[in-house]
Chain A
Amino acid sequence: MLVYILRRIIYVIPIVIAVALVCFLLVHITPGDPLVAVLPADASAELAAQMRAAYGFDRPLPVQFGLWIWQALHGNLGTSIASGRPVLAEVTQAVGNTFILAVTASLIGFFFGVFFGLVAGYFRNTWVDKVATSIAVAGVSVPHYWLGMVLVIIFSVWLNWLPAVGNGPGGWAWDWVHMRHLILPAVTMSVIPMGIVTRTVRALTGDILSQDFVEALRSKGLKETQVFRHVVKNAAPTAVAVMGLQLGYLLGGSILIETVFSWPGTGFLLNSAIFQRDLPLLQGTILVLALFFVFLNLVVDIAQASIDPRIKRS
């Protein structure tokens, strides 16, 4: 097992470097001066040169990349051009908020996805299956930013039950005042993982039920509920792995939902970084989110291998 973990970690290192390179190049290959956002239009050439030197934009690209990586390894992602605060501080704060949202959404999506998937797979080709599959297809097809708007119309505008925007006053706390704000965005975000988990678990359940050991369990005289328990046990590792990856997608793809609900997370940060052309902030946020995704993939792989020894050998 240790060898497998080490091998996976070694495999991840070049990916991490390449991801950093892509983040760096994305921002530097683009047309336009990165200083446009901060310099007044009538700034003198000297001032521009001064600023360029202050931000290090006057060095050659490879040097800039090297410096950036070196600084990043020491926990310094530069300074946000727009706010003047350290990028890392901005991102850390936002990641916390996005994490709350994405984890809650994953749990909701996972719960309903597993439930619908098991039911649909177990009662394949009945009306129950059709209903569950339709919900799953709707879940993966719905433009979630629109669903968010519709939920706001229903629960905030018409019923006035839940707040439409923000994450509550002050910092986050797990009390009703703040959790009320979490309900709509989390439910909106949960529909995609719900649909994907439903489809995965349904297919899994079908595969498992057609295997010989299920026949053996039945002929051994096991009750249907006990057979079902075996199905759940066999489907669990894959379902958890799919959910782990989905959490990564939610963390990285929260921008649309965070925009709809003005949720102060990484997506919101990304949005303002893009429109204020705050390149250090943009670069730093993308890097942190992508690295998080890589890390999550690694964890999922290792977790899966530790549950199912067959994976290690392949």
Chain B
Amino acid sequence: MSATDAALQAAPVQKARGYWATVGRRFSRDKVSMVCAAVLLAIVLAAIFAPWLGLADPYQGSMIRRLRHIGTPGYLLGTDELGRDMLSRLIYGGRLSLLIGILPVVLAFGIGTSLGLLAGYLGGAVNTIIMRTIDVFYAFPSVLLAIAISGVLGAGIVNSIVSLTVVFVPQITRVAESVTTSVRNLDFVDAARASGAGAITIMRVHMLGNVLGPIFVYATGLISVSMILASGLSFLGLGTKPPEPEWGLMLNTLRTAIYVNPGVAALPGVMIFAVSICFNMLSDGLRSAMDIRN
């Protein structure tokens, strides 16, 4: 036995890294994505732990300290049109804004993936019924559909979440259906069927893992749109109701103050922009991390 053989035998067996581990490693090496993740994490954590941060009461107004400028001692980011502390309201505002922005995508992800999986796997009449119904919703521009539904249902947090979910379900269903259709024709699915697995088992065990990735990336890209639309609904007076702190609604009520205190009036939009662009960047980063070919 030569020296090289011995060395070969002694070398530890390197286990091939799995797909998701590779994706995770590539993703975590992407600087832009990591910065965006950090910004989002900071905003989310601040929103969750807002009551313990020692902030001013976000509902407590005062007629004598209205529309203070940014940097006023005691009011780091100024005060709004009713004299409420802006820093506090921006941080508290994250609670509702993030909820009404993210929840519709989460709900639509669940519903859309199920519908798409059913349509794609079962094909035939089920596919026709589901996909043709989806086509009808595709015939509406998304903003129009969201506003039409919330306009008809009336203002409110639940209604705005419902309307945005309805907007995103068709989009996710379409992606899920096309991914499922392409996976369904692969050999391992035939093998599972040949070995006697039922439709539900095949969908749950064999297909879900293979279709979730692309759908998930697509859904993360929708969060940015959803944030803008959700705050937009509140901006129109169709979402959150006053006095709740929410970025879109704050932008709406501060709109009349742009002549007096433009800096403060623009602040809530900065938050929406920051969150939306970070989600977009994260989604792009995730997509390129999953594209292992290059």
**A residues within 8 Å of B by Cβ?**
14-15, 18-19, 22-23, 26-27, 30, 137-138, 140-147, 149-150, 152-153, 157-158, 248-249, 251-253, 255-256, 259-260, 270-271, 273-275, 282, 286, 289-290, 293-294, 297
Contacts and interface: CB of A to CB of B under 8 A. Distances in A.
Given A141-B224, A146-B270, A274-B238, 11 more contacts: A15-B139, A30-B152, A30-B153, A141-B228, A142-B273, A143-B231, A144-B228, A149-B266, A153-B262, A274-B152, A286-B144
B273 A256 contact: no
Residue of A15, A141, A153 with most chain B CB atoms under a 10 A cut-off: A141
14 contacts: A18-B139, A22-B137, A26-B149, A141-B276, A141-B280, A143-B248, A143-B251, A146-B269, A149-B251, A150-B266, A158-B262, A249-B142, A255-B144, A286-B148
A282 B151 CA distance: 9
A294 B147 contact: no
Interface string B133-155: 00111011111100111011100
B272 A143 contact: yes
Contacts of B52: none
A137 B236 contact: no
A170 to B, nearest CB: 26
B140 A255 contact: no
**9 A-B pairs with the lowest CB-CB distances in the bound complex, closest first:** A146-B269, A252-B141, A253-B143, A274-B151, A252-B144, A141-B277, A18-B136, A153-B262, A141-B276
Nearest to A164: B258
Nearest to A297: B139
Contact of B280 (A140, A256, A259, A293): A140
B281 A137 contact: yes
Contacts, number: 129
Interface in B60-114: none
B235 A256 contact: yes
Question: What is the predominant secondary structure among interface residues of chain A facing chain B?
Answer: helix
A142 B224 CA distance: 9
Residue of B148, B248, B258 with most chain A CB atoms under a 10 A cut-off: B148
B255 interface: yes
A216 B100 CA distance: 53
A26 B132 CA distance: 19
Contact of A293 (B140, B238, B251, B281): B140
A30 B279 CA distance: 34
A199 B147 CA distance: 27
B238 A137 contact: no
B237 interface: yes
Contacts of A153: 258, 262, 265-266
B164 to A, nearest CB: 14
A137 B265 CA distance: 24
B19 interface: no
B85 to A, nearest CB: 21
Contact of B273 (A143, A157, A248, A255): A143
A289 B141 CA distance: 9
Interface in B220-235: 224, 227-228, 231-232, 235
B151 A143 contact: no
Contacts of A14: 132
Contacts of A289: 141, 144
Contacts of A152: 258
A152 B140 CA distance: 30
Contacts of B232: 143, 145, 256
Interface string B252-284: 000100110010011011101100110111001
B144 A253 contact: yes
